[in-house]
Amino acid sequence: MINKLRARIQDEKGFTLIELLVVILIIGILAAIALPAFLNQRAKAQDSTAKSDVRTAQTAMETYFTDSQTYVGAKSDVTGLDKASLQFIEPALKNAKDLDVGVPTATTYAITVTTAGASGAKFKIANNNGVVSRTCDKAGEGGCPASGKW
């Protein structure tokens, strides 16, 4: 009896070709499902970063207003050396992509940051005499809702 078991074990030396093909097929299906989901999550993270950067710039702008009692003179200086620069107030803004403050007035401003994602959406926060609006230029794409407001 033991001789029969030994003979059977010696005859089975590996997997059949069919078994290997089935395993490869299953791995391929799982990869096809996971890859697009992973790429979509990366774009969402980049859009969230852009939104966070524009909110941080808004906080820096309000800090500038608290110190100066006007928005005039606040700007985006990539070196961050100018005391009127938002990067001087909040150094993390040096990493923001295409931070644009525009030309603020005494009571209004508009801040725009572009996402690093493939959509290239621009997220904007505008303050018009105390009325704050949050918009994006590519409604329905990436992290920008269909309404164009976030």
Question: What pLDDT does residue 9 have?
Answer: 67
Host domain of residue 33: 2-136
Report helix, strand or coil for 112.
strand
| C-beta of residue 142 within 8 angstroms of C-beta of residue 43 | yes
Classify residue 146: in a domain, yes or no: no
**DSSP per-residue codes, 44-88:** HHHHHHHHHHHHHHHHHHHHHHHHHSSSTT-B--TT--STTBHHH
- The two most distant CA atoms of the chain are separated, in Å, by 97
Lowest mean pLDDT among 36-40, 59-63, 73-77, 88-92: 36-40
Report helix, strand or coil for 32.
helix
Classify residue 142: in a domain, yes or no: no
In the chain, the number of structural domains is 1
List, for residues 102-118, the tens digit of each pLDDT value: 999 999 999 999 999 88
Q: What is the pTM of this model?
A: 0.74
